[in-house]
Amino acid sequence: MKKYSQIILLLFVIVSLAKAQKGDNEIVAEVGPIKVTASEFKQRYEMVPHVGRHIKGREDRLKAETLYSIIAEKLWALKAEELGFDSSAVMEYTFKAVEDMYLRDALYRKEIKSKMSIDPQKYAEAKKRALIYLNTKFIYAKEKSGIDKLYNELKNGASFDSLLSMRGESLLQKEQPYQIHFGQMAEFAEDSVYSLSVGEFSSPLKSPDGWYIFKLISVEPEKIENAKQVKNMEKRIRSVVQKREEENEFQKYYRSFFPGHEVQTNGYLFWSFSDKIIAALKERKKLANVEDGKAVHLEEADFYKIKDQFGPDSLNMVFIQLKENPITLRTFLYSFAFEGFYTSSDDPNTIRNQLNSRVKRFIEHELLTREANKEGMKNNPKVKSEIEMWRDYYLATLYKQTLFDSSNVTDAEVRNYYNKKKNSEDLETQVNIIEIYNDSLEVIEKVFQEIDNGVDFKTVAQKYSDRKSKGNNVESGFFPISSHGEIGRIAGNMNIGDVYGPLKVDDEYIVFKLIDKKTSTEKFSGSFNKIKDELKRQLKAEKVSKKMINNTVKLANKYGVKVNEKLLYNMDVTNFNMMVYRYMGFGGRMLAVPMTPTFIEWVEPWQKSKSELP
């Protein structure tokens, strides 16, 4: 029965951001011309998970870590803009996809949310329905022709129970009838079944997977035993009615907006694009050893490979012809890559149909984005601040990448590094961690839920991590904090038992727990040639870390940084450990705020440098 109830449900989830509270526009930090408001800080503190934030006495430390990491991000963004990165391909295409989502969301709030009103009669009817539930039986057919045949037989006097007994869905209803509660079905289907008298059957009702006919067996009162249940019911009734009104307004706008737009797609480019996607899926399935029937996800490298296969001339060809400013294949591909793509099917025609739907959705989004720009949504102060937050994040990421790319390591440097370490008696910090790697934020969300529910971290890692060695081992083993890039850097500042994450590493996310830490003079476990590549990674990580610290200190002194510590430490924040998604109007989902890694190693050198300035 669960299968069918999931099929019939029609859910529309739109997250409304809370209205700004008093003090949210106060400035908690100034980074050159950039002002970090209390509102931005609170969102970025509360909407990203940090295990252990509920521990008494840790809040001030976490506040400081969050704020100074944001400040570093803003400093890098300023430098990236100075270097001209704001005109790079990443900003022109990838960041633009984020910007467009916010613009469409603002248009949605103006054209849909602001026009919603609850009909008192509908609300009264909803309250009546919420007090009862229906016991029903149903007949299902995948095709309309099949359900129409069954419906005609019923109208001509055939027994509902006799027809049902000869069908597979009868097994799901053998033990008990199928219960329908208020708000469980799409509104049109609910209107139909709630209008039935006992013994009557509905007309065929369409659902995402096929067609249904319901027969009403009996009506039962919902059990309401206390005031809390009454309050929860009232809340649920209002939520359902509001969502349905929102959907009705959406459908009205959709029907009025899209007709009349002339759009043509280049069929040759579509077939070439779909052929390359199908080939990439086949290759990815083989590389990842994905079983038949399981989802195959294309990775970032796959999209870049497809882009390179087209070449510059094809990429600059018009893929979608609009009345003004046609869309090139290059623009579409970047947007397609930003959203990602996966499928469980190997059938080329099925995949092409999925890709065709994506093209259709892209066209709709493009038209809505243009309408949002026409309506001046970019000038909305809230939209501007949200877009600026993400713009700074993307620019900072680009600058950080330059630090990594410019930290080259020669063979001679590796040899000198080896000799110096080998002959040194200095103690070196090493750490051992349990790692959970996964490329899905939905899985990472489950990880935090289970950790918060008290499940052992190692058990969670063995269940969810994509990287496990033989014997389901999820421990890294001891490694120097100078290696493993940001993981080593962050682990070096943690206490045993601390958990950190999620941290983006290449195309995956990692959550890790520090389970042991030691200092040792033991440096190497093999000959130079055997460990040369690992030493090269360690030396590069050290170079990158030093550059990050030194450059951030220089940028802080160059642009200027001011922190309102009184506001920071007196600010009321919630300490729920949660990962928050934002569901955007007209479709799309993304993290509510950027996921900025903790980076505070620059703060002490910066404060020291300030005291040394004349």
Residues in CB range of 135: below 8 A, 6 or more apart: 177, 178, 179, 216, 217, 218, 219, 220
Distances (CA, A) of 363 to 67, 227, 319, 321, 531: 39, 49, 11, 10, 52
Question: Is residue 111 pLDDT above 50, yes or no?
Answer: yes
SS3 assignment, position 219: strand
**pLDDT at site 424:** 73
pLDDT at 520: 75
The C-alpha atoms of residue 156 and residue 153 are separated, in whole angstroms, by: 5
Chain centre distance of CA 101 = 13
Radius of gyration of the chain (CA): 29
Tell me the per-residue pLDDT of 24-40, one tens digit each, with 9 for 90 and over: 789 999 999 999 999 99
Whole-prediction pTM: 0.82
Predicted confidence (pLDDT) per residue in 575-596, tens digit: 776 778 888 999 988 889 998 8
Out of 29-33, 83-87, 503-507, give the one with best mean pLDDT.
Answer: 29-33
Distance CA 57, CA 54 (A): 9
Lowest-confidence segment of 153-167, 498-512, 538-552, 560-574 by average pLDDT? 498-512
- The DSSP code sequence of 259-287 is TT---EE-HHHHHHHHHHHHHHHHHHHHH
What whole-number distance in Å separates Cα of residue 55 and Cα of residue 215?
54
Structure tokens at 558: 């160059």
Q: Residue 174: pLDDT above 70?
A: yes
Are 100 and 365 spatial neighbours (Cβ–Cβ below 8 Å)? yes
Phi-psi region of 511 (alpha: psi -120 to 50; beta: other; left: phi over 0): beta
Distance in angstroms (rounded) separating the CA atoms of residues 576 and 571: 15
Question: Which listed CATH number (3.30.1490.20, 3.10.50.40, 2.40.50.140, 2.40.480.10) goes with 2-8+118-253?
Answer: 3.10.50.40
Return the pLDDT at 614.
58
CA distance 213 to 67: 57
Residues 514, 498 contacting (CB under 8 angstroms): yes
188-209 CB burial, b ≥16 within 10 A, e <16: ebbebbbebeeeebbebbebee
Q: Share the mean pLDDT of the chain.
A: 88
What phi and psi, each to the nearest 5 degrees, are found at residue 558? -70, -50
Distance CA 507, CA 492 (A): 23
Q: Higher-confidence residue: 367 or 8?
A: 367
Give the CB-side neighbour count of residue 581, counting CA atoms within 13 A.
Answer: 13
Token pair in block for residue 565: 């510590």
- Determine the average pLDDT of the residues in 320-324: 94
Which residue in this structure is represented by tokens 């049902």?
Answer: 164
- Of 95, 81, 87, the closest CA to residue 34 belongs to 81
* pLDDT above 90 (res 528): no
Give percent of the chain with pLDDT exceeding 70: 92
User: In the predicted model, is pLDDT for residue 13 greater than 50?
Assistant: no
150, two tokens: 């069954």
The predicted-structure confidence for 557-577, as pLDDT tens digits, reads as follows 999 999 999 999 999 988 776
Q: Is the pLDDT of residue 198 over 70?
A: yes
Contact 435, 447 (CB under 8 A): no
316: pLDDT strictly greater than 60 = yes
* Residue that wins the pLDDT comparison between 226 and 351: 351
CA distances from 409 to 479, 536, 542 (A): 20, 7, 11
Tell me, what DSSP letter sits at residue 598?
A: P
**Do residues 337 and 276 make contact, with C-beta atoms less than 8 angstroms apart?**
no
* Beta strand segments in 27-176, E: 27-31, 34-37, 132-141
Tokens 């947007």 correspond to what residue? 335
